[in-house]
Amino acid sequence: MIVADRKPFDDIKAMLEGFERVLIVGCGECVSVCMVGGEKEVEILASQLRMAAGKEGKKIELGETTLERQCDREYLELLKDKIENYDVVVSMACGAGVQFLAEMYDHKIVLPATNTRFIGVTEGEGVWTERCRACSDCVLAETGGICPVTICAKGLLNGPCGGTNDGKCEVSKEKDCAWTLIYNRLNKLGRLDSIREIFPAKKYNVQTRPGRRIHEAFKEKE
Amino acid sequence: MAKSFKEALESGKFVVTAEVGPPKGTDIEEMLHHIDLLKDKVDGLNVTDNQSSVMRLSSISVSHIIKEKGGEPILQMTCRDRNRLALESDLISANILGINTVLCLTGDYITVGDHVEAMPVFDLDSVLLLKTVRLLESGKDLGGNELKGAARFCAGAIVTPEANPIEPQLLKFEKKIKAGAEFFQTQAIYDLDNFKKFMKYARQFNVKILAGIVLLVSSGMAKYMNANVPGIFVPKDLIDEMASAEKGKALEKGIEIAGRMIKTLKDENICDGVHIMAIGKEGKVPDILAAAGLA
C-alpha cells in the first residue's frame, strides 16, 4: 500500500488562511489503513481547524466526507454537488488522489493534507516500512526476495558498500544492510550463485515519468 | 616520477601510494606543498573525490595538477554525485589530461557529509564503474556508441579485509576483479595475522593488493575508529602501545607503528605494497617511509 504522513497542522492551517468554506475529503484506501487520511482522520483535522478558528475568533465552515477511494473517477464523481458549496478542498489522500480530485474539479482549489512517503507494508501496530520503489524492472528473483533498490540506501545492485558494519547500514545503525540480508537469505536457500554474476546498470528509460500502463484487452480502444 | 603507476605495479617492486585531500575552496597553497613533498617519494598519489560527501575541489583538477608537477595521480571516482553520462565523460576527460589511473568507489552516502539535502545519484556502483572503464577502453560507451579514440586506464578498487561479516564483501571483491580491477587498496589494517589470512585468499587472483595504513595519532583515535568506522579494527596491544607513549610523543609513536607495519609487510612479502593515509598529517608521510626503511 501507499504510506503517507499527515502534514503538520500549522502547515495545513497556513494553506487555508483566508478561506471560510473548507471541504475535507478523506480516502478509504491506503491512507485509511496507515491512519493518516481516513474517516477518523478527517474528523480529527476538522476539529483541529474548528478549534483553531474559534480561538482566533475566525469564521470557518467545514464539510467532512470520505470517499471509497480517490484514485477512481466513479468515486470522485460523488463529490459533484457537494463541492460547489465550498471555496477550497483539502484532500487527505496520497498524492495520486489529490491530483485526480484536482483534475476532475479543476475550477476548485484542491490542497494536500498529507506528504506521500512510500509503497510499503504494515510492519507492526502503527509501523509501516518501505518495500518497493516501483522501478519497473523487478530484481527480486535474483536477490532472494529482498529489494536492493529499496532496502539499500544507495540502491546498489552488485553487493554491499564498504560502509556496512555488523549487518547495519552506514546511514544509520537502525537500518539493516540490504546486502547482508540478501547474502544471508540466499546462503540459506543455497542460491548464492544468483548474485555472483554482475548485474547490469539499471534501465531508467523504463521508468520515464509519468508512468502509464494499458491492459492488453484495452489497447485497441486507446 | 619517471614510471607510470601501472609500470610500478607491474615491476614487482613494493609499491607505495599516499593521499592528497583537495581543499574546500580555491586556496591550494597547503595542498601544493603536500604534493611537492610527496610526489617523488611515492609511486602514486590518490586524490579523493568529495571525500566523506563533503564538497571540495574536484579530484580531476587536483590530479591534473599532480600530473603537471611530474607526479603520478590516482584519480578517485565515486558514483555518488554523477550519473553514467557524467562519469564516462569525466573518465575520458581525465584521460586526455594525462590521468591514467583510476580508483573506482561507490562513495559515502550523501547524508554523512555537508550537503545533506542533495540528491544521491548512485546510477552505477563501483563494480559497474570498473566495467565502464573497460568498456571505454574497448572504444565504446554505455549507450552502445563508438568513441572517437578509446580510453586507456589502470583501474583499481578497494576492499575491506576486516569487514564483519566478510563473506558479502568478498563476493563483491570477486565481482570487482571480474569487472576488471587490476589493483586494490584496502581499508586500514592493523591486525597483521588477520590480514595474512585475507592475503592467503586474495593471492588466488591475479591482482595487486596494497595494504591500507592509517597513521594513528593517539590511543583515543584508535578507540574512536574501533567504535565508529566500519571495517577498521585496532587490536588492544596497539592501543596500549599508543597509550604508553610519553606525553606529546603520541604522533611519533604512531609513525613508528606505521613504519614497523610497512616494514613487516614488505620484508615478509605479505602483499604488493601499501597505501598510506595520514589523514590531516600528510606532511608526516616521509617520516613514515623513513621509519619503514623505504626513504
Picking from A157, A180, A202, the nearest residue to B165 by CB comes out as A180
Rounded to an integer, what distance in angstroms lies between the CA atom of residue A198 and that of residue B137? 19
Of A150, A128, A111, the C-alpha closest to A32 is A128
Contact flag A204-B127 (C-beta cutoff 8 Å): no
Name chain A contacts of B108, Cβ cutoff 8 Å.
163, 170
**What global pTM score does this model have?**
0.95
CB of B164 within 8 Å of a chain A CB? The answer is yes
Q: How many residues does chain A have?
A: 222
Share the mean pLDDT of chain A. Answer: 96
Q: Is the pLDDT of residue A166 over 90?
A: yes
Name chain B contacts of A199, Cβ cutoff 8 Å.
128
Full DSSP string of A1-36:
-EEEEEPPHHHHHHHTTT--EEEEEEESSHHHHTTS
Residue B145 DSSP one-character state: P
Residue A222 — very low, low, confident or very high, per pLDDT cuts 50/70/90? low
Picking from A153, A156, A187, the nearest residue to B125 by CB comes out as A156
**Cβ atoms within 10 Å of B79's Cβ, excluding its own:** 27
Query: Quick one: closest CA in A to B105, which residue?
Result: A161
Rounded to an integer, the average pLDDT of A38-56 is: 97
Contacts of B25 (CB under 8 A, 6+ apart): B57
Rounded to an integer, what distance in angstroms lies between the CA atom of residue A120 and that of residue A102? 25
Helix (H) or strand (E) segment spanning residue B236: helix B236-243
Query: Quick one: closest CA in B to A203, which residue?
Result: B123
Domain with CATH 3.40.50 in chain A: 2-118
Contact flag B164-A166 (C-beta cutoff 8 Å): yes
Helix (H) or strand (E) segment spanning residue B188: strand B183-188
> What is the distance in angstroms between the Cα of B165 and the nearest Cα belonging to chain A?
6
**CATH code at A2-118:** 3.40.50
Rounded to an integer, what distance in angstroms lies between the CA atom of residue B72 and that of residue B90? 18
Q: Is the pLDDT of residue A143 over 80?
A: yes
Of A179, A41, A39, A37, the C-alpha closest to A114 is A37
Strand A61-67 versus strand A2-6 pairing type: unpaired
Picking from B111, B122, B165, the nearest residue to A171 by CB comes out as B111
> What is the distance in angstroms between the Cα of B111 and the nearest Cα belonging to chain A?
7
CB of B146 within 8 Å of a chain A CB? The answer is no
**Cβ atoms within 10 Å of B158's Cβ, excluding its own:** 23
Would you list the domain boundaries of chain B? 5-159
CB of B128 within 8 Å of a chain A CB? The answer is yes
CB of B119 within 8 Å of a chain A CB? The answer is no
Helix (H) or strand (E) segment spanning residue B274: strand B273-277
Query: Quick one: closest CA in B to A197, which residue?
Result: B175
H and E: helices and strands count for chain B: 11, 8
Residue B270 DSSP one-character state: -
User: How many A-B residue pairs are in contact by the CB < 8 A criterion?
Assistant: 89
Rounded to an integer, what distance in angstroms lies between the CA atom of residue B65 and that of residue B257? 32
Contact flag A161-B165 (C-beta cutoff 8 Å): no
CB of B134 within 8 Å of a chain A CB? The answer is no
> Residues of chain A whose C-beta is under 8 A from some C-beta in B?
153-167, 170-171, 179-180, 182-183, 187, 192, 195-196, 198-202, 204
Rounded to an integer, what distance in angstroms lies between the CA atom of residue B15 and that of residue B44? 8
Name chain A contacts of B106, Cβ cutoff 8 Å.
154, 156, 161-162
Q: Under CATH, to which class is B5-159 assigned?
A: alpha beta
Buried b (16+ CB within 10 A) or exposed e, B232-252: bbbeeebbebbeebeeeebbe
> What is the distance in angstroms between the Cα of B98 and the nearest Cα belonging to chain A?
28
> What is the distance in angstroms between the Cα of A153 and the nearest Cα belonging to chain B?
8
Per-residue pLDDT of chain B in tens (295 residues, 90 and over written 9)? 458 999 999 999 999 999 999 999 999 999 999 999 999 999 999 999 999 999 999 999 999 999 999 999 999 999 999 999 999 999 999 999 999 999 999 999 999 999 999 999 999 999 999 999 999 999 999 999 999 999 999 999 999 999 999 999 999 999 999 999 999 999 999 999 999 999 999 999 999 999 999 999 999 999 999 998 989 999 999 999 999 999 999 999 999 999 999 999 999 999 999 999 998 899 999 999 999 999 8
Contact flag A170-B112 (C-beta cutoff 8 Å): yes
Question: What are the Cα distances from residue B188, in Å, to B139, B140, B225?
Answer: 36, 36, 10
Full DSSP string of chain A:
-EEEEEPPHHHHHHHTTT--EEEEEEESSHHHHTTSSSHHHHHHHHHHHHHHHHHTT---EEEEEEES-SSSHHHHGGGTTGGGG-SEEEE-S-HHHHHHHHHHTTTSEEEE-EEEEEEEEEEETTEEEEEE---SS--TTTTTT--HHHHSTT--SSS--TT-BTTB-SS-TTSBPHHHHHHHHHHHHT-GGGGTSPPPPP-GGGGPSSP----GGGTTT-
Are B60 and B103 in contact, with CB atoms under 8 Å apart?
A: no
> What is the distance in angstroms between the Cα of B20 and the nearest Cα belonging to chain A?
20
Kindly provide the ipTM of the predicted complex, given to two decimals: 0.94
Picking from B120, B178, B230, the nearest residue to A154 by CB comes out as B120
CB of B122 within 8 Å of a chain A CB? The answer is yes
